[in-house]
């Protein structure tokens, strides 16, 4: 694997041709590992890494996987978007959206690795700043791993200057991420972050411990470690709010792709099968609006929600995800189903008070209180509540939703997803002899 800068520059060149917005790295800037050898450099690197994830990382994760899971429809005439929309074996290894997701997450991971490698020595005399920097670096690496594990079966978690980074399974990668986050929680408790860290790095719009615990819960759920997922979810303050902020200088990446570049458009009913969205669900009006358009026989909506304006914020996570993690963990671990139903109803019946205004305003669940029925209800609620959060591809596999057919292109729109996993980008295979074989679909 080439250094993260090389990946980013390649993806910039390819995605730029497809009218995608990406940050162009300055080839004359100091290398990341050089920047992180100073106190001020570590602080600046943390800020820059989060900003890169919030723009380029969020863009590629949401638009790529959102198209694969039918949340969005690729509508531009650019070849890369059409390939992504078709899915199946029509998605080639040279597709620039696939490369963009791979490259951006690896850059975030590489930058986080440099922060983690240098912070202990550089900040050896400042325990409270060090704890914050290390916890933040651990979180950013875990976020990158989560993004890669959503779309790829294997990937590197350490960089190699010899272009021979070892691949590990997504399970091993996620276990590594959980270990980092568990240690971060312990370190933060022992050495609470300094006021300088909180003001300069975190700011008022990001609650570090809650974001860490959400990712601990999310990753443990993906790993099938349900008791651990439940414990981490129970540690999250549901009244806190963490968000990525945007401006005209750093625009909302989904708004840019959907409203400005018009590469994608929202599918009606969140792209879900008929009957999954109940009449009167207030989240329809929160996320989607008119005017409608018919493209390829499909009714498409105008996206609202977190993509209205150039400066609209995007949640780092939506608090009701925590209720749904609890419900799923309880069900899958053989816990009390009525307790799980209570967590589901906390999402369904919410009529106000959500920090981001995502309120379903539905009646309580009235279906069968069985494992199968409640898991389906959790999937439905996750698909709607967490619309365009980059989570549905993982959810679709975990909940056993119908897989796409092989060697049928384009994949019929009746399929809920068009791929199980993405192929590895050609750029990786050309430079890294450790690249595994591509998945069939």
What confidence tens digit (pLDDT) does each residue in 171-223 have?
999 999 999 999 999 999 999 999 999 999 999 999 999 999 999 999 999 99
At 239 the pLDDT is: 93
Minimum mean pLDDT among 159-163, 232-236, 296-300: which range? 159-163
CA distance 146 to 61: 10
Q: How far apart are CA 239 and CA 226, in angstroms?
A: 23
pLDDT of residue 32: 57
The CB density around residue 372, as the number of other CB atoms within 10 Å, is: 9
* pLDDT computed for residue 19 by the predictor: 34
What pairs with residue 289 in β-bridges? 302
pLDDT of res. 25: 42
Residues of the chain with pLDDT > 90, as a percent, come to: 90
**CATH class (in words) of the domain with range 4-206+242-269+405-431:** mainly alpha
Q: What is the mean pLDDT of residues 338-358?
A: 97
Task: Determine the average pLDDT of the residues in 246-250.
Answer: 97
Q: Once rounded to an integer, what is the mean pLDDT over residues 92-109?
A: 97
pLDDT score for 6: 40
Question: Maximum Cα–Cα distance for the chain, whole Å?
Answer: 64
Backbone angle region of 324, left / alpha / beta, with phi > 0 → left and psi within -120 to 50 → alpha: alpha
Residue 31: per-residue pLDDT: 56
Given the structure tokens 């309580």, which residue do they identify?
A: 364
pLDDT at 8: 41
User: Could you read off the pLDDT of 386-437 as tens digits, one per residue?
Assistant: 999 999 999 999 999 999 998 899 999 999 999 999 999 999 999 999 999 9
> Model pTM?
0.93
pLDDT at 328 over 60: yes
Average of per-residue pLDDT across 90-107: 97
């Amino acid at each position: 694997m080439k250094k993260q800068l090389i990946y980013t520059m390649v993806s910039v060149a390819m995605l730029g041709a497809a009218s995608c917005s990406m940050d162009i790295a300055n080839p004359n800037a100091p290398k990341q590992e050089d920047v992180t050898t100073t106190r001020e450099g570590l602080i600046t690197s943390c800020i820059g890494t989060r900003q890169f994830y919030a723009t380029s990382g969020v863009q590629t994760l949401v638009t790529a996987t959102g198209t694969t899971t039918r949340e969005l429809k690729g509508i531009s005439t650019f070849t890369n978007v059409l390939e992504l929309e078709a899915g199946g074996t029509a998605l080639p290894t040279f597709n620039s959206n696939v490369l963009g997701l791979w490259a951006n997450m690896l850059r975030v991971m590489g930058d986080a690795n440099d922060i983690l490698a240098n912070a202990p020595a550089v900040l050896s005399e400042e325990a409270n700043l060090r704890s914050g920097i290390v916890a933040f670096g651990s979180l950013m690496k875990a976020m990158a791993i989560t993004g890669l594990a959503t779309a790829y079966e294997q990937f590197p978690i350490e960089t190699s200057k010899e272009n021979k980074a070892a691949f590990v399974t997504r399970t091993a990668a996620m276990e590594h991420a959980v270990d980092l986050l568990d240690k971060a929680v312990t370190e933060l408790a022992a050495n609470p972050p300094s006021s300088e860290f909180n003001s300069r790095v975190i700011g008022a719009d990001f609650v570090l411990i809650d974001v860490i615990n959400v990712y601990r819960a999310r990753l443990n759920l993906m790993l099938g470690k349900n008791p651990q997922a439940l414990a981490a979810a129970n540690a999250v303050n549901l009244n806190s709010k963490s968000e990525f902020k945007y401006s005209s200088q750093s625009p909302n990446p989904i708004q840019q792709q959907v409203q400005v570049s018009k590469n994608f458009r929202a599918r009606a009913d969140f792209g879900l099968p008929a009957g999954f969205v109940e009449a009167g669900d207030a989240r329809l009006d929160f996320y989607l609006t008119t005017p409608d358009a018919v493209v390829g026989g499909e009714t498409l909506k105008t996206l609202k929600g977190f993509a209205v304006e150039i400066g609209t914020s995007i949640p780092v996570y939506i608090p009701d995800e925590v209720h749904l993690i609890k419900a799923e963990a309880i069900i899958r671990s053989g816990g009390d189903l009525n307790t799980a139903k209570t967590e589901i109803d906390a999402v369904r019946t919410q009529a106000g008070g959500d920090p981001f205004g995502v309120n379903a305003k539905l009646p309580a669940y009235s279906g069968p209180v069985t494992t199968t029925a409640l898991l389906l209800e959790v999937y439905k609620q996750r698909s709607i509540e967490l619309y365009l959060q980059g989570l549905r591809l993982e959810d679709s596999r975990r909940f056993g939703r119908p897989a796409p057919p092989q060697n049928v292109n384009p994949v019929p729109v009746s399929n809920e997803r068009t791929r199980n996993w993405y192929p590895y980008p050609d750029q990786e295979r050309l430079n890294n002899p450790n690249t595994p074989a591509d998945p069939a679909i």
